[in-house]
Amino acid sequence: GDNKLKTKMYLALQSLELDLSKMAGMYWQATNASPLDKILHGSVGYLTPRSGGHLMNLKYYVSPYDLFEEGTGAPIILNENNVPRYLGMNVCVTIEGTLTMNKLPIAPLIMGTHPVDNKGTPSFSSVTSANSVDFPACFFLKFPKPVPVSQAFIQKLQNCTGIPLFDTPPTYVPLYELITQFELSKEEEEDPCPLHHTMHFFAALPGQQHCYFLNKDAPLPDGRSLQGTLLNKIAFHHPSRVPLILNMIRHQVAYNTLIGSCVKRTVLKADSPGILQFEVCPLSDSCFSVSFQHPVNDSLVCVVMDVQDSTHVNCKLYKGLSDALICTDDFIAKVVQRCMSIPVTMRAIRRKAETIQADTPALSLIAETVEDMVKKNLPPASSPGYGMTTGNNPMSGTTTPTSTFPG
């Protein structure tokens, strides 16, 4: 009865953990990845084995601001002996009872020690009646706290795993409301944000003050607004699903990070002179626009950001034909991929427009912007801009955002 089931569940979890540990080792062998590389790009993230009451932990995402000590602003230098468990975004690996029967392996599936490609992908043996058992349980990746995800993301993830994410259909609300709550709940000592927030936020940046309106109800091309829900855990049957799941989560978190970068508790008077106004509108589950007044003309301009995946954001500036040049799309993309912050990017665009005649080198302006934010202990806003690459330039493996952006 019950003891037999517990034994099978333990065998299945142990087998999964062995396979995931092997996948982590094969990724490192193939890529010689630094701890930061493993977190941002690793097939199973940065893996910490189960020990002393802690489940196996997969760290799959950190932001530039995560790598600075809170309060002091001192950089956190990651190495194999120093990757704090609390840092960044994590999932734990577990097995839980379910209402339905599932076929789960009770023996490790990875054959040999050599990956099949240069990314460390292993070769798996087939799941057979000899190495697997049907029982009412499933593997899960569990989040420490629920993560906001879009309705489209839910569908993609269920297509990937073949398993429904919810026992009963979830309630969907505007995704931007959930991202707002998620960001504001990071400051636990504060009162939680009411669900029906005005969605106006202020950002005090060096030399500039911004007001952001997150237009959560803006209609998408299909006429409906961008909807989402909170996700607690993800079920799966096979270790080969884990890299696919993590990449999907990274993509969603990159989108959330950009939108969340506008969400601050800063209090400014809305009618203060010189406050710059911005409107952020969803265009799809991975794309949004930021509209604002042209820094030189009176016209409205717009930057469209399309989050291709967790390491690539396409940016395009739309302005009137007769409007003065502000900056290039490439400049915007470089700023975004450095800090993944809308306010920092908008500040840099304005600074670039002001200095375009002086032809200030783009990278020095980006570095100065990020350094300013860190000195003032303002988050450059979550996300691994420093983990991104342009062309074939690989990551350097160092950890401070101001030194690793590929020039």
Q: For residue 76, give Cα distances in angstroms to 61, 68, 143, 384.
A: 15, 5, 23, 14
| Closest to 263 measured CA to CA, from 187, 317, 373, 366 | 187
Q: Please give the sequence-ordered ranges of beta strands (E in DSSP) within 250-299, or none if there are none.
A: 276-282, 287-293
**Per-chain mean pLDDT for the chain:** 86
| Closest to 305 measured CA to CA, from 321, 281, 278, 277 | 281
Instruction: Give the pairing of strands 208-214 and 276-282.
Output: parallel
Of 1-5, 171-175, 231-235, 282-286, the one with minimum mean pLDDT is: 1-5
Which tokens is 319 given? 């302005």
pLDDT digits (tens, 9 = 90+) for 312-322: 899 999 998 88
Of 117-131, 133-147, 374-388, the one with minimum mean pLDDT is: 374-388
* pLDDT of 153 over the 60 cut: yes
Distance between CA atoms of 105 and 121, rounded to whole angstroms?
19
The pLDDT value recorded for residue 393 is 35
* pLDDT of 225 over the 60 cut: yes
The pLDDT value recorded for residue 44 is 98
The pLDDT value recorded for residue 116 is 82
Share of the chain above pLDDT 70, in %: 84
The pLDDT value recorded for residue 368 is 62
Of 113-122, 202-211, 266-275, 338-347, the one with minimum mean pLDDT is: 266-275
The pLDDT value recorded for residue 69 is 83
Of 10-24, 72-86, 135-149, the one with minimum mean pLDDT is: 72-86
